[in-house]
Amino acid sequence: MESPADQFDLIVLGGGTGGYTAAFRASQLGLRTALVEADLIGGTCLHRGCIPTKVMLESADLLARMRDASAFGLEAAGVGANMAAIARRRTDTVNRLTGGLMSLVRKNRVELIHGRGVLESSRVVRVALAGPDGLAEGERVIQATNLILATGSRPRSLPGLVPDGRRIVTSDDVLTSEVIPPSLIVVGGGAVGVEFASFYRDMGTEVTLVEYLSSLVPLEDAEIGRVLERAFRRRGIEVMVGARLDPEAAVADDAGVTVSVETVAGVGRRELHAAQLLVATGRSANVSGIGLENTQVVVESGVIRVDPYMRTAEPNVYAIGDLVGGLLLAHVAAHEGIVAVETIAGLDPEPVDYSIMPRATYCRPQIASVGRSEAELTRDSVPYVAGKFPWLANAKAVIGGDHEGFAKVLAHAETGQILGIHLIGPHVTDLVAEGSLGMNLAARVQELAHTVHPHPSLSEALAEAAMAVSGQSINV
């Protein structure tokens, strides 16, 4: 431990998106950096989250377009999906991106230490090294001036509903599966739940989506949830909102899973049966087993308490990503990592502002948003005006044959400052970036309205929605 080789400026515990981003930026800023990861670099996002699901959804989207090919003057016979081949592409893509990250580790001269790290103090980490075969292979004690904790999260089920990896599964399970269940109950209508519901429906599965709250994607603007619900119903997904599944009453056997669902309104119980049940009811931060008890770091409601520079209660220990709760999004973790590192390097970065973090969900239609919803603005007593523009009135969406949904811009009624952008429809997971930039620059809605957008493009919908705030849309 006294060896200079074990002495770093920064140790990052956890090699997910937040962790490796922090480590790369730290090295760019001249910090000697160690990145400790027990598993493969890339974390949940690359191995059990964003990336593998997006590979699956990319195939599903293309499949849906191919089924509609004749509408575009194209011909094809025997259109279908081969789940084993999709799964192979999923593995290949993850491996390729993992390889890319490994070369970035080398390029950035980050020391990647393969093993499970436990804090012995606020500056010392004991790593149980993992050999090439993943088995324990001795240990190494390292120390640093600063630490960033980024150990991520894992799927959480409902109390009493225990995933068995076969009939009752989590996202971790289905992301290594090559099987399309004939029928599936998805419990949880948040981003993860609706993405899987969308995917499996395209693959031909009979999907029932059960959400406890009164609308799908309950963290989004309420109107988004309503449009998604309608779109999902039209696609043949059975949507149950305001519905409580009794976790204790679930029965899994060789024939599948049987559960009992009660509508909150109390209309009565219903028995549901399916080949599989996918639990998508949230995630728990990995705060245990990493030695927090040897530090002054404070855990509250299961997540680490931090300030907007990602500082914990322990001087020189920072925490980022799913570990600190909140949005649980890879790009938020990456941003938190950069803010933490720039704080450590004395660069005086802007604090993390969660009110301008974009959110993106890759179901069909896609959903994306940044800023506050109408309900949140009403709750906060902020006077606002909404401007809305339907994709049906956007020429490029009509040309693309994909024109369900709308773009909505919320602006302060007096100052015109943009307070929220809510999108459901084609390619909105990319289009929302313009909203993020605008909100980051504290743009007024008039500035968005007067920005010239290429014609015909989907991006025009944002300017039209901005114009609609003052009743001056051109194309609707």
Q: Which of 17, 143, 153, 343 binds its own copies (CB under 8 A)?
A: 17
Asked if 28 is part of the footprint of its own copies (rule: CB under 8 A), the reply reads yes
* Backbone torsions φ then ψ of 150, nearest 5 degrees: -150, 55
- The residue among 169 and 432 lying less far from its own copies, judged by its C-beta, is 432
Q: Which of residues 90-149 bind its own copies (CB under 8 A)?
A: 93, 96-97, 100, 104
Q: Which of 10, 50, 207, 287 binds its own copies (CB under 8 A)?
A: 50
Structure tokens at 80: 């279908």
Q: Which of 221, 322, 460, 464 binds its own copies (CB under 8 A)?
A: 460
Please choose, out of 81-89, 124-132, 208-216, 250-258, the segment that lies near its own copies by the rule CB under 8 A.
Answer: 81-89
Query: What is the rounded CA–CA span in Å between residue 92 and residue 286?
Result: 28
253, with CB counted inside 10 A (0-12, 13-18, 19+), is exposed
Please work out, in degrees rounded to the nearest 5, the angle formed at the alpha carbon of residue 20 by the alpha carbons of 356 and 31. 105
Query: Could you identify the residue written with the tokens 């390619």?
Result: 427
Instruction: Calculate the dihedral angle through the C-alpha atoms of 422, 428, 433, 439, rounding to the nearest 10 degrees.
Output: -10
Q: Which of residues 329-358 bind its own copies (CB under 8 A)?
A: 329-332, 334-335, 349-350, 356-358
Concerning whether 331 is annotated as a catalytic residue, the answer is no
Under rule CB under 8 A, how many of the chain's residues touch its own copies?
95
Distances, alpha carbon 387 to alpha carbons 268, 310, 442, 459, in Å: 39, 35, 18, 15
Please work out, in degrees rounded to the nearest 5, the angle formed at the alpha carbon of residue 104 by the alpha carbons of 368 and 36. 90
Please choose, out of 84-92, 149-157, 273-281, 300-308, the segment that lies near its own copies by the rule CB under 8 A.
Answer: 84-92
- The residue among 17 and 198 lying less far from its own copies, judged by its C-beta, is 17
Q: Which of 386, 423, 431, 469 binds its own copies (CB under 8 A)?
A: 431
Query: Could you identify the residue written with the tokens 């959110």?
Result: 359
What's the chain's length in residues? 476
What mask of x and - would describe binding to its own copies in positions 356 to 395, judged by CB under 8 A? xxxxx-------x------------------------x-x
Which of these, 371, 360, 430, lies nearest to 192 by C-alpha position?
360
Q: How many CA atoms lie within 13 A of 371 on its CB side?
A: 28
- Smallest separation (angstroms) from its own copies to the CB of 364: 15
- Smallest separation (angstroms) from its own copies to the CB of 352: 9
Asked if 10 is part of the footprint of its own copies (rule: CB under 8 A), the reply reads no
Query: What is the rounded CA–CA span in Å between residue 2 and residue 4?
Result: 6
- The residue among 272 and 357 lying less far from its own copies, judged by its C-beta, is 357
- The residue among 135 and 452 lying less far from its own copies, judged by its C-beta, is 452
Q: How many CA atoms lie within 13 A of 390 on its CB side?
A: 7
Query: What is the rounded CA–CA span in Å between residue 25 and residue 34?
Result: 12
Asked if 159 is part of the footprint of its own copies (rule: CB under 8 A), the reply reads no
Please choose, out of 109-117, 124-132, 212-220, 422-430, the segment that lies near its own copies by the rule CB under 8 A.
Answer: 422-430
Which of 47, 403, 427, 455 is an active site residue?
455
Q: Which of 7, 39, 40, 81 binds its own copies (CB under 8 A)?
A: 81
Residue 455 near residue 426 (C-beta atoms within 8 A): no
Query: Could you identify the residue written with the tokens 């029928």?
Result: 183
- Smallest separation (angstroms) from its own copies to the CB of 424: 14
Q: Which of 148, 244, 434, 465 binds its own copies (CB under 8 A)?
A: 434
Residue 97 near residue 55 (C-beta atoms within 8 A): no
Please choose, out of 69-77, 138-146, 225-233, 285-293, the segment that lies near its own copies by the rule CB under 8 A.
Answer: 69-77
Q: Which of residues 393-412 bind its own copies (CB under 8 A)?
A: 393, 395-396, 398-401
DSSP-assigned letters across all residues of 293-308:
GGS---EETTEE---T
Annotated catalytic residues are 455
